[in-house]
A and B are shown apart, each in its own frame.
Chain A
Amino acid sequence: MPAELKPANPTLSARIRKGFPSAERVFSLDIDFSAAPGFTILFGPSGSGKTTLLDCVAGLATLDAGQIAVGERILFDANAHTNISVAKRGVGYVLQDLALFPHLTVEQNVEYGLAHLPRAVCKRRAAAMLQDFRIEHLQRQRPAEISGGERQRVALARALVTDPCVLLLDEPLAALDAATKSKILDDLRRWNQAHRIPILYVTHSREEVLALGERVLVMEQGRIIAQGTPHEVLRAPLQETVAQLAGFENIFDATVESVHEDRGTMLCRITTRRALGGETGSSLLLETPLIRAEAGSPLRVGIRAGDILLAIVPPTGLSARNVIPGNLVSLEQRDVIVSVRVNCGIEMEAHLTLAARDTLGLMPGKEVWLVIKTHSCHLMQR
């Protein structure tokens, strides 16, 4: 993009209102945010509107109302009827499944956005970018002939070579293994230090949030429900989405059964939601830390799967206050951990090592006991 179009202070600011009337559900985006140069992470469950938000910034989706600007440059303004076309926005966008041009070589893909430049300049800039992202040896290959990680690099290079004023990345590393991921993140971070532009980075992955996060926006149902540094957002996980971000695999609705100020604990009864609304109490009681709450008040309990111990005989002589009998439902190996699901009135997820699985001889149907410390039960509002 020509230098004169590039605002001096390129902060992305957006006020986005967009409704999607559909037969099944009414969904709307209602978002105000600004993103300074550097990484801004968009985190949230699927269907929370992250991709639509990126589409609005890129101009692929049109807002009902609101404004989008980069520095002083207005990309969209509903009141002023300003709507700069996608092609003229100068926004780099790496779509979720990359959308590399399958009939063009790696080099041609990267040169695609430079067609307005003289041939020699175009070649030079594309070559430099291929080198920066360590894909110059692939320049004659087509997307189908290279690996997933290489394709990610091509997609990034293709978007960045145009020198965009904002970069949108929609789960760019979702399909990659950890090692490839961290190498690409390094390259991206290095690039970002040289070109300070706002980068909106959508991800489901907690690791990516923590690795990249200068700032996190947590989205749920088209709204931003929390924002700040990853540390700030994670320190007080008050909402369920944030709790998932903080790594609570087990999140249950509960009501306070009794308060024991003398012991510094409470008893909470786990409740399950009924199909037609309302809740029923289960037989499961958890001892949790004491908070300011009265008996009967609703709250939510989050327990990390890694904080749960598993025993195959009834354990005794423990300091942990919650020992819950149940039946093992399933085991699933993920990388080097084993995720087990245990039915103890409700289903809980616990993480074990491979060695623990083998030593304990775990298999579906086996009777087990879950051991949970009082302070491993994190309470949230609802």
Chain B
Amino acid sequence: MSINWQAFGLTIELALVVSAILLAIGLPLAYWIAFSRWRWKFLVEAAVALPIVLPPTVLGFYLLVALGSRSPLGRWWQSLTGHTLAFTFTGLVIGSVLYSLPFAVQPFAASFSSVDRKLLAASATLGASPLRTFFRVVIPLSVPGLVTGVVLAFAHTMGEFGVVLMIGGNIPGITRTVSIDIYDQVQASNYAAANAMAVLLLIFCFAVLTVVYALHRRTPKQESWTIGPVN
């Protein structure tokens, strides 16, 4: 079996980096979505959800334009580093973060919203700042939603194709991910190689999801957590 371990390793690296970044920017964004009372909040929610419905090629196309040497962003990056963002690993990360954003932010925001507001009120009356309340109450009670968000973002990045094709191209070791490799092998009629990679991706994704769902078996118990006098 000819497995392209380089493409596989690159894909996992990309998915890990993207999940970590989404965890970092997704938490504050989801917190804002869950708790802000800004009247135009729905606009932001719609924008965050866009990648779910847009064809990846549309997102990829605009990213390519935005990251290219003709855009201010692209020029600024080029003056800083000497090369464009398009067709680099960093460009791939930026594209993947945007593409997988709703898959992380929506479960985060949903689990934040479901935390009983009375617990937040109780925390405040006990002298806790909003930040302390967030880390001591909101986050611990949202763990299932956070795990779901990170895993979805990871899995979604593992399997992405259109955005990578548009802004990453097909450079071995830099932007050639598993899905691109499979596509390439099929184009070249190397069905055995394509099959090897496809099976590997299938088994890996199934294994990751299995572990997550197995860990999730605890959630029904957590959902019945009691905060009050009901007996």
Task: List residues of A whose CB falls within 8 A of some B CB.
Answer: 58-60, 85-93, 95, 97-103, 112-113, 115-116, 143-144, 147-148, 151-152, 158-159, 162, 174-176
Contact = CB atoms under 8 A, between A and B. Distances in A.
A89 B137 CA distance: 20
A115 B128 contact: yes
A148 B226 CA distance: 10
A59 B120 CA distance: 13
A60 B118 CA distance: 10
Contact of B231 (A58, A86, A102, A175): A175
B141 interface: yes
Contacts of A116: 127
Nearest to A95: B118
A102 B125 contact: no
Nearest to A172: B229
A148 B229 contact: yes
Given A99-B116, A112-B136, A86 B124 contact: yes
Contacts of A101: 119, 122-123, 136-137, 227
B144 to A, nearest CB: 12
Nearest to A89: B125
A85 B129 CA distance: 10
Interface centre among B122, B124, B224, by most chain A C-beta atoms within 10 angstroms, is B122
A162 B127 contact: yes
B229 A152 contact: yes
A112 B228 contact: no
5 contacts: A85-B124, A87-B128, A100-B226, A101-B137, A162-B126
B228 A99 contact: yes
Interface centre among A59, A99, A144, A151, by most chain B C-beta atoms within 10 angstroms, is A99
A102 B123 contact: no
A217 B230 CA distance: 28
Interface of B: 116, 118-119, 121-129, 132, 136-137, 140-141, 224-231
A112 B128 contact: yes
A58 B125 contact: yes
Given A99-B116, A101-B119, A113 B124 contact: no
A93 B121 CA distance: 9
Given A91-B125, A113-B127, A174-B229, 15 more contacts: A60-B121, A89-B125, A90-B127, A95-B118, A95-B121, A97-B228, A97-B230, A98-B227, A102-B226, A103-B140, A112-B136, A115-B127, A115-B132, A116-B127, A162-B126
Nearest to B226: A144
B126 A158 contact: yes
A370 B225 CA distance: 49
B20 to A, nearest CB: 24
A103 to B, nearest CB: 5
Nearest to B116: A99
A86 B119 CA distance: 13
A64 to B, nearest CB: 18
A175 B231 CA distance: 9
Contacts of A112: 123, 126, 128, 136
A102 B225 contact: yes
A115 B123 CA distance: 11
A103 B228 contact: no
A174 B229 CA distance: 9
B230 A148 contact: yes
B225 A86 contact: no
Contacts of B229: 97-98, 148, 151-152, 174-176
A147 B231 CA distance: 7
A88 B125 CA distance: 8
Nearest to A176: B229
Nearest to B140: A103
A125 to B, nearest CB: 13
Which 4 pairs from chain A and chain B are nearest by CB?
Answer: A97-B228, A113-B126, A102-B225, A99-B122
Given A98-B229, A102-B141, A60 B224 contact: no
A87 B129 CA distance: 6
Nearest to A100: B227
Contacts of B140: 103
Nearest to A145: B226
B121 A99 contact: yes
A175 B121 CA distance: 21
A77 B175 CA distance: 61
A174 B132 CA distance: 31
A99 B118 contact: yes
A85 to B, nearest CB: 8
Contacts of B123: 101, 112
A117 to B, nearest CB: 11
B68 to A, nearest CB: 48
Contact of B124 (A87, A98, A147): A87
A93 B227 contact: no
Contacts of A148: 229-231
A101 B125 CA distance: 13
Contacts of A113: 126-128
A2 B121 CA distance: 22
Contact of B118 (A89, A91, A92, A97): A97
